[in-house]
Amino acid sequence: MKKILLLLILFIAQISIAQEDALVFFADKENVADALANPLTILTQDAIDRKQMHGTPIDERDVPLNENYKSQVNNSTGITVFAKSKWMNAVYVRGSLSNINNLLNLEFVTEVEFADKDLNFTKPLGRTSDKFEMETQSRVEYNYGDAANQTEMLAVDFLHENDFTGEGMVVAFMDNGYPNVMSNPAYATLRNEGRLLGGYDFVEREQGFEGTGSHGSVTFSDAAAFLDGQFVGTAPDASYYLYVTEDGNDETPLEEALWVEALERADSLGVDVVNTSLGYQDFNDPRYDHSYEDLDGQTTIGARGANHAFDKGMILVTSAGNDGRPSDFGFVGTPGDSPGMLTIGAVDSNGNPADFSSFGPTVDGRVKPDVVAQGEFAAIVDQFGGVTFSNGTSFSSPIIAGSVASFWQARPQTPNSTVMQIIRESASMFDNPTDKMGYGIPNFEDAYNALIELSIEDEMLENNFAIYPNPVTTQVNISFPKDYSEAIFTIYNVLGEQVKQSRISSQNNQVDVSYMSSGVYIATIQSGNKKTSFKLIKK
């Protein structure tokens, strides 16, 4: 009886001290108005310039969270704060169930969201596995010809031939570590030209980017490496930040929170493109696993952070995952489920889908992956400067990320959403996407031509009046060029008789034509010495 009682006491004690992970949300922030009135106090000039160029608003999400609130939470009994998010106005904590729930007694805490979706359901802890195990098998020496294949498959060589090599663009990598980047000959040009802008280890909370593994070193090569005559990444002239967000010794939702925090750092520094060769679905503790139903692009910490980053104007590129085989989970993990993500699957050198590449759709029916690139026998530069090959969507992702940086360089004022859609529409299967290939293999020469056509259209709209819709049913709208705010809008029939005349402005630019008979008319817009005529069809 004493033994049973002792075991019961030990069991109760274990329950009371069991550690849980959770997001703790704050009610407000301090000095929001002052920060927004003086954005240089919270963002770099590069970040402000990028947001202004894309019309991205600077709002309360850009204001740092209240550090006093964070300190109070961290000083609470049994609580440790591991990460923070200004976009979500929350901190990621670890502590006992009761201690975390006690945080709700703090007047500034509005909500607690546990990583364990069912605190009353317990399964045995899983083993710590190496998520990159498949990607680190049997590597052999790799020649430049194979490196050329993954570039030419996407027509990125066309971009490079036209001097779009990523120059002036800023790219951030999120991974588990980047050993030897400061000595690897593949990055000598990058270092010598001062384009390695820095990095940070969010796992260890320290400067530097060595991390706990070498996965980041090899994924980084597919975008940034340059070995004359041997290997050229898809954005060899871009500038880079390197962030460690992945803990090679553990697998928990904390890594998602660290990834979001790194995204916020990247945004504040003016980063344009982010590569994430990481994905999350199952964890060491199965209570925290994401089900397929969770992967709706809105639920996980990673997806929510990605959606904020997309709103802030960056282009996020991520690997679809390597769970595509029948014995694996199958579907694209998070943050690849986010609608704000450009999620990349893998194909072989002939453009056929790789069997390991995770597939879609998302639980809410969206196409994922978005596009694909070579990830089977993909060329890489290892951490010691040798050209070799490896398998995984971890490599198709940076191949595309670098391509995006070089492509966006051609017209950096284009909004991120437009750039992403042009890339999708350039892909080989845009009209008939599949669960495994998404929209297919993008063609960056076609995308470039579409971007230039868009540029010409935008320039015409910027310098000329336009009317829409045309044909029109009830109401015609007039688009004003820059430097013009008022005009006279006149409609004539085919006999040259005036049918209608209105004074319009850039704020009052709609004209009612519902009463007019169906037929063909001539519309003129005159402002000062500028006069434009259109054929107007009334339905």
- Is it true that domain 464-538 has CATH number 2.60.40.1930? yes
Mean confidence (pLDDT) of the chain: 89
For 321-355, how does the pLDDT look when each residue is reduced to its tens digit (9 = 90+)? 999 999 999 999 999 999 999 999 999 999 999 99
For 365-378, how does the pLDDT look when each residue is reduced to its tens digit (9 = 90+)? 999 999 999 999 99
Asked if residues 159 and 167 have their Cβ atoms less than 8 Å apart, the reply is: no
Summarize the confidence of residues 429-446 as an average pLDDT: 97
For 48, other C-beta atoms within 10 Å of its C-beta total 18
pLDDT at 533 over 90: no
Delimit the domains of the chain by residue range. Answer: 17-114, 134-457, 464-538
pLDDT at 128 over 60: no
| CA dihedral sign of residues 222, 47, 245, 186 | positive
- Give dist(CA 264, CA 245) in Å, integer: 12
Strands 109-114 and 19-26: antiparallel
- CB half-sphere exposure, 361, CA atoms < 13 A: 9
Residue 60: closest CA among 42, 40, 82, 81: 42
Topology match between the domains 17-114 and 464-538: no
pLDDT at 1 over 90: no
E strand map for 231-313: 231-232, 239-244, 273-276
Please identify, in words, the CATH class of the domain defined by 134-457: alpha beta
pTM of the model as a whole: 0.78
CB-based contacts of 235: which residues, under 8 Å, 6+ apart?
165, 166, 169, 171, 223, 224, 401, 402, 403, 405, 406
368 backbone dihedrals φ, ψ, rounded to 5°: -150, 140
Asked if residues 254 and 416 have their Cβ atoms less than 8 Å apart, the reply is: no
Measured CA angle at 32 (ends 28, 33), to 5 deg = 140
- Tokens 């009830």, residue located: 474
E strand map for 130-205: 170-175, 196-201
For 10-43, how does the pLDDT look when each residue is reduced to its tens digit (9 = 90+)? 444 444 468 999 999 999 999 999 999 999 999 9
Summarize the confidence of residues 229-251 as an average pLDDT: 94
Enter the tokens of residue 518: 């169906």
For 191-231, how does the pLDDT look when each residue is reduced to its tens digit (9 = 90+)? 999 999 999 999 999 999 999 999 999 999 999 999 988 99
For 506-517, how does the pLDDT look when each residue is reduced to its tens digit (9 = 90+)? 889 999 999 999
DSSP string, 189-209: HHHHTT-EEEEEETTTTEE--
Residue 156: closest CA among 470, 447, 366: 447
What spatial distance separates the first Cα and last Cα of the chain, rounded to whole Å?
Answer: 91
Summarize the confidence of residues 450-463 as an average pLDDT: 74
Least confident of 111-120, 121-130, 244-253, 428-437: 121-130
CA torsion angle for 317, 442, 240, 394 (degrees, to 10)?
Answer: 50
Please identify, in words, the CATH class of the domain defined by 17-114: alpha beta
For 251-297, how does the pLDDT look when each residue is reduced to its tens digit (9 = 90+)? 999 999 999 999 999 999 999 999 999 999 999 999 999 999 999 99
Summarize the confidence of residues 441-446 as an average pLDDT: 96
